[in-house]
Amino acid sequence: MKTLKRNVVAVCICLGLVMGLSQDALAARKIQIGHAYAAQHPMHLSMEAFAAQVKQETKGEIEFEIVPSGVLGGEIELIQQTVGGMLDASLIGAITMFQGFAPKAAIEDLPFIFTDRLVVHKAVDGAFGVYMAEKVIEPLGLKVATFLEHGFRQITNNKRAITKPEDLAGMKLRVPPLALRVEAFKLLGANPVPMALPELFTALQQGTVDGQENPMATIESYKFNEVQKFLSLTNHTYVSAPLVFNKDSWKSFDAATQKIILDAAKKAQTMSRDLYVNYETEALKRVRDSGVTVTTDVDYKAFADKVKPVWESFRQKQGNELFDLISQAEKK
């Protein structure tokens, strides 16, 4: 009888230990965050650091898996999946990618709306960034954790150096599937072809399109220089990348965890900015060394004059508020 009791106690203790381990295992929450950029891109490296910090500070209870290269879908798909709750979170390469869901997001797509990187940072870190988060993106059912650095966009192609709008005449140029971007490049004389980023390398390689426009880090990390002959530093638009959570998923974190995530996101933003400046300089050198002809003699005024109708169209539909917020950042 005593032996039986001892066995029962032993079994109970073992079950208790097993159940305790199971509860610990269940406590670890694994969350995928998708994005469309290559694994060596500064944004991916910053997100990996973000995930590591959150895991450490939550003692392994929250574990983010950063899934690059469009494995979970292109950017429009990532937005749809995150809004719909199929994904808990995603890193979207530009605020402007939300314009199909919230038209004011297209402000970032206006060519030459930002004069330099310092103005961008002042705007994104100030009232402009708050407005874009709270009044444009979050009403879709999302929570914006931060905006990562993505940089100014440049043009590559296989036809000729681009120094003035006339050089784009008739050129089949891949653009993201965004109405305002398409409109702007039509005004510049190009034949814009909307296409998701993961499809672009093959399209360039096969000649489906003549060229494309993207930030320097994307051009180099996706190895577009291997299938393009010319790079023109047009700096025509700047893009910042919002890290967004499904609102219900965000609410499922307690306040302490939310703070850990937001703090880590802020550090990832700083890291992405530091990495991007260095990466951009090095990437440009590597692209030039690979045989691509790099053009810096660009007639910015001629380009800006051509796309003024896009500015006026946006202003008529969406008002002056966002222009005013950018102007405030320029004066700081």
Q: Report, as an integer, the average pLDDT of 255-270.
A: 98
Q: What is the mean pLDDT of the chain?
A: 92
Q: For residue 5, what pLDDT is reported?
A: 42
Q: For residue 27, what pLDDT is reported?
A: 61
pLDDT tens digits for 69-88? 999 999 999 999 999 999 99
pLDDT band of 6, cuts 50, 70, 90: very low
Q: What is the SS3 assignment for the chain?
A: CHHHHHHHHHHHHHHHHHHHHHHHHHHCEEEEEECCCCCCCHHHHHHHHHHHHHHHHCCCCEEEEEECCCCCCCHHHHHHHHHHCCCCEEECCCHHHHCCCCHHHHHHHCCCCCCCHHHHHHHHCCHHHHHHHHHHHHHHCEEEEEEEEEEEEEEEECCCCCCCHHHHCCCEEEECCCHHHHHHHHHCCCEEEECCHHHHHHHHHHCCCCEEEEEHHHHHHCCHHHCCCEEECCCCCEEEEEEEEEHHHHHCCCHHHHHHHHHHHHHHHHHHHHHHHHHHHHHHHHHHHCCCEEECCCCHHHHHHHCHHHHHHHHHHHCCHHHHHHHHHHHC
CATH node for 30-331: 3.40.190.170
Percent of the chain with pLDDT over 90: 87
pLDDT band of 8, cuts 50, 70, 90: very low
pTM: 0.87
Among residues 149, 84, 186, which one has the least CA distance to residue 279? 149
Q: Report, as an integer, the average pLDDT of 157-166.
A: 97
Q: Report, as an integer, the average pLDDT of 191-209.
A: 96
- Cβ atoms of 148 and 186 within 8 Å: the answer is no
